[in-house]
């Protein structure tokens, strides 16, 4: 919206017949216009400076005079702008208090969508008539070059190399002029200006800093200014490589999604910025702090391809909702992770099964098959296959009290193959939810090498005899066979916990439920029968490793260690006729000693019980003697029946109860005084009494046992 400038005032009027004339002094505006028409730029600048100094010397500045000075400076500024004297033009336009939006409008690549045709800018009408009639600074530069050099440059002033370089230099000068103008405007006029103008100035200034690679100034502006149009700055920062500046405005705005997107491009190497040394860590830090489930799931899967360990830690740290929703979300997340990184998918599956304690049989089966397939993959390596075969041969030829898997863990060098086998054995043993049939089908072709694993799976299927035969005959692992009978576990619990801790696999060991006593005795009897069977007579196809002598020794050790779970008669029925007596001597000695110990213990208990009965009888006798005796006389057959039933338990009532049944007093010799049938000082020492005990009834006096 244009406005008219002020006019000079006249104090002298000349009247004539046909007119009125006024003598006007030469005003600053008229002098300036005269100088500008004569292109006397230096003179008009000097005139404006003199007038400014005059106003500055006054204590009170007249608003009209100040506006006149602004008008002159604006006229000078736009004149210099038309002549591409940008530095001087910027100075004069600033002194003329020009609205920065008008100057920004000449920079289409900087104004973007910040300005529209509906925006109003205050401007003197005289200035509005002389502003450059061009759409951009570049058009002003080109027009000036054409005016000065055409037609002297070939082929034309636009494409000639000298003018192209001149255009670049003048364009840089124009941007520098705008840079200085906007900085000074923010410093001098920024506080009192409208916020909409602030937004435009700060946004354009940020673009200038980015294009000129003034990174320090740009960061300072982003830090102190809240008036920035992010949508305008995004393409400029991306085009100029100012990715850290882009991250800063996203952080200030709280736009985590776009911030993560920028960091991801830096991680991928699509973008580079030395001011962001570790964008991957920045992503993990932000996601950990925000705890935004949607962002974590979106970027956590992608991060598994960059840093599996930290990505899984991030994904597994999220809180859980309802169980049904959690199960569905976990399954969906598992599929996404598998698609991005199969190895990370296995680790996430381990987390679901072993740490979150998922009860989904499908997940347990998938994990079990993965472990078994890993073992089969390692067995395809000749070095691993030879080593494991050698370990099995060495153990079966010289069996020890140590279980085979404990022997394997302690004597095999650490390697991924060893760790995979320990993982598989521990999981197959502790989990009861996987499909054992599917796992067994994979292991059976490698029965000789993977005998412990096959025994575990046979046990899960309820094939106890097959499992024990594998341990006792194929592997000669008597410790594991005995542990299977007592704990239903091929891995002895202590041994499993020990090497799980050594290999840092504590999560793989789950609590072993208490074994049923009857089931333990049944399995021990089955194992003893396997040891005592001849050759292939066990019916399961398994062959003894070292003949009957080895079985006899194993059976003898089993009877000695588990003597309390065997009945002598049952054992004698199973012993082959040709077995030497020393094989059973230890078991028989312990059984007889235990039986004799039980009898002697029973006799001791009986004696103690009898003594306790005598002590109690003596104490009771004294109490009853103090109470005396009560004799109730029978009713006469001629007496009439009582009108109410007789309370036979009245003697149990309290002494002060209001009950008075018919009781006949019967004097007892030696009593001094009888009260209500009870003598306070009676002597009944001559009355014999006998008391029994339920404890002594269980024993016979002749042999001490019933």
Contact 681, 622 (CB under 8 A): no
Predicted confidence (pLDDT) at residue 24 exceeds the cutoff of 90? no
Answer with the residue of higher pLDDT: 591 or 218. Answer: 218
CB neighbour class for 81 (10 Å; exposed up to 12, middle 13-18, buried from 19): buried
Q: Which residues pair with 555 in a beta bridge?
A: none
Residue 191, pLDDT score: 79
Question: Domain spans of the chain?
Answer: 26-188, 190-303, 359-519
Predicted confidence (pLDDT) at residue 376 exceeds the cutoff of 90? yes
- In whole angstroms, give the CA distance from residue 93 to residue 98: 6
Instruction: Read off φ and ψ for residue 123, nearest 5 degrees.
Output: -155, 140
Predicted confidence (pLDDT) at residue 663 exceeds the cutoff of 80? no
- In whole angstroms, give the CA distance from residue 277 to residue 244: 10
What would the two tokens of residue 588 be? Answer: 């028989």
* Residue (of 149, 209, 158) closest to 179 by Cα position: 209
Residue 521, pLDDT score: 79
Residue environment code for 647-674, b if the CB has 16+ CB neighbours within 10 A, otherwise e: eeeeeeeeeeeeeeeeeeeeeeeeeeeb
List % helix, strand, coil for the chain (3-state, nearest 5).
65, 0, 35
Q: Which residues pair with 675 in a beta bridge?
A: 678
**What number of other Cβ atoms are within 10 A of residue 159's Cβ?**
10
Residue 526, pLDDT score: 84
Contact 266, 279 (CB under 8 A): yes
Q: In the predicted model, what is the mean pLDDT of residues 231-249?
A: 94
Residue 209, pLDDT score: 95
Least reliable range by pLDDT among 82-96, 268-282, 508-522, 668-682: 668-682
Q: Is the peptide bond before 155 cis (omega within 30 degrees of 0)?
A: yes
Residue 202, pLDDT score: 94
Cα–chain center distance at 408: 35
Paired sense of beta strands 20-23 and 2-3, if any? unpaired
Name the region of 539 (left: φ>0; alpha: ψ -120 to 50; beta: rest): left
- In whole angstroms, give the CA distance from residue 57 to residue 470: 112
Q: Which residues pair with 12 in a beta bridge?
A: 23
Average of per-residue pLDDT values in the chain: 80
DSSP 295-333: HHHHHHHHHTTT-HHHHHHHHHTS----HHHHHHHHHHH
**Which of 179-193, 481-495, 553-567, 619-633 ranks highest by mean pLDDT?**
179-193
Residue 291 contacts by C-beta under 8 Å, 6 or more apart in sequence? 318
Contact 613, 695 (CB under 8 A): yes
Q: 692 falls in which pLDDT band (50, 70, 90)? A: very low
* Residue (of 226, 228, 207, 234) closest to 218 by Cα position: 207
Answer with the residue of higher pLDDT: 396 or 684. Answer: 396
Predicted confidence (pLDDT) at residue 193 exceeds the cutoff of 90? no
Q: 304 falls in which pLDDT band (50, 70, 90)? A: very high
Crossing angle of helices 86-95 and 161-188, in 10° steps, is: 20
Q: What is the pLDDT of residues 326-355, one digit of tens each?
A: 678 888 889 999 999 999 999 999 899 888
Contact 503, 422 (CB under 8 A): yes
The proportion of the chain whose per-residue pLDDT surpasses 70, expressed as a percent, equals 77
**What number of other Cβ atoms are within 10 A of residue 135's Cβ?**
11
Answer with the residue of higher pLDDT: 706 or 405. Answer: 405
The proportion of the chain whose per-residue pLDDT surpasses 90, expressed as a percent, equals 35
Helix or strand holding residue 12 (H, E)? strand 12-15
Crossing angle of helices 342-350 and 308-316, in 10° steps, is: 40
Contact 259, 250 (CB under 8 A): yes
């Amino acid at each position: 919206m244009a406005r008219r400038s002020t006019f000079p005032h006249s104090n002298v009027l000349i009247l004539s017949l046909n007119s009125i004339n006024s003598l006007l002094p030469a005003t600053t505006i008229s002098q300036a216009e005269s100088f500008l028409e004569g292109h006397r730029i230096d003179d008009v600048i000097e005139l404006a400076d003199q007038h400014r100094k005059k106003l500055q010397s006054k204590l009170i500045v007249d608003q009209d005079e100040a506006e006149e000075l602004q008008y002159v400076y604006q006229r000078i500024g736009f004149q210099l702008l038309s002549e591409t004297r940008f530095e001087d033009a910027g100075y004069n336009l600033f002194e003329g208090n020009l609205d920065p939006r008008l100057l920004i409008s000449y920079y289409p690549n900087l104004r973007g969508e910040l300005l529209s045709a509906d925006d109003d800018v205050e401007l003197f009408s005289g200035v509005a008539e002389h502003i450059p009639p061009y759409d951009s600074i570049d058009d002003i530069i080109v027009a000036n070059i054409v005016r000065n050099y055409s037609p002297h440059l070939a082929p034309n002033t636009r494409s000639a190399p000298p003018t192209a370089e001149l255009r670049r230099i003048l364009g840089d000068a124009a941007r520098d002029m705008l840079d200085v103008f906007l900085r000074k405007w923010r410093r001098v006029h920024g506080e009192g200006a409208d916020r909409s103008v602030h937004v435009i100035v700060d946004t354009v200034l940020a673009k200038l800093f980015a294009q000129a690679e003034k990174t320090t100034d740009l960061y300072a502006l982003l830090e102190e200014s809240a008036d920035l149009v992010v949508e305008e700055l995004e393409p400029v920062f991306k085009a100029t490589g100012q990715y850290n500046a882009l991250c800063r405005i996203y952080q200030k705005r709280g736009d985590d999604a776009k911030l993560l997107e920028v960091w991801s491009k830096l991680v991928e190497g699509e973008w580079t910025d030395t001011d962001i040394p570790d964008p991957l860590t920045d992503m993990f830090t932000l996601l950990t702090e925000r705890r935004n489930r949607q962002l974590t799931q979106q970027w956590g899967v992608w991060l598994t391809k960059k840093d599996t360990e930290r990505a899984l830690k991030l994904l597994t740290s999220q809180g859980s909702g309802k169980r049904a929703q959690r199960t569905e979300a976990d399954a969906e997340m598992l599929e996404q992770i598998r698609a991005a990184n199969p190895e990370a998918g296995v680790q996430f599956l381990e987390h679901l099964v072993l740490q979150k304690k998922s009860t989904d049989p499908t997940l347990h089966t998938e994990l079990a098959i993965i472990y078994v397939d890993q073992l089969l993959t390692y067995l395809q390596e000749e070095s691993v296959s030879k080593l494991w075969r050698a370990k099995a041969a060495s153990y079966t030829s010289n069996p020890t009290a140590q279980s085979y898997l404990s022997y394997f863990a302690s004597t095999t060098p650490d390697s991924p193959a060893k760790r995979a086998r320990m993982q598989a054995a521990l999981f197959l043993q502790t989990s009861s939810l996987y499909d054992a049939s599917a796992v067994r089908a994979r292991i059976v072709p490698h029965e000789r090498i993977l005998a412990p694993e096959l025994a575990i799976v046979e046990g899960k299927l309820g094939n106890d005899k097959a499992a024990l035969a594998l341990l006792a005959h194929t592997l000669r692992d008597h410790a594991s066979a005995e542990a299977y009978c007592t704990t239903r576990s091929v891995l002895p619990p202590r041994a499993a916990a020990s090497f799980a801790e050594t290999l840092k696999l504590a999560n793989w060991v789950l609590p072993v439920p208490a074994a049923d006593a009857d089931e333990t005795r049944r399995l021990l009897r089955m194992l003893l029968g396997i040891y005592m069977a001849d050759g292939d007579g066990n019916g399961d196809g398994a062959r003894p490793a070292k003949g009957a002598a080895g079985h006899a020794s194993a059976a003898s050790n089993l009877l000695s260690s588990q003597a309390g779970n065997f009945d002598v008669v049952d054992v004698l029925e199973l012993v082959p006729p040709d077995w030497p007596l020393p094989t059973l001597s230890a078991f028989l000695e312990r059984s007889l000693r235990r039986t004799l110990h039980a009898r002697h213990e029973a006799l001791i208990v009986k004696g103690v019980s009898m003594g306790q009965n005598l002590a109690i009888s003596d104490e009771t006798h004294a109490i009853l003697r103090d109470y005396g005796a009560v004799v109730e006389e029978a009713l006469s057959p001629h007496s009439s029946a009582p009108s109410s039933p007789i309370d036979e338990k009245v003697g149990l009532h309290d002494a002060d109860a209001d009950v008075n049944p018919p009781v006949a007093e019967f004097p007892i010799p030696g009593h001094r005084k009888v009260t209500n049938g009870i003598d306070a000082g009676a002597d009944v020492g001559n009355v014999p009494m006998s008391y029994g005990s339920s404890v002594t009834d269980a024993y016979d006096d002749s042999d001490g046992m019933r």
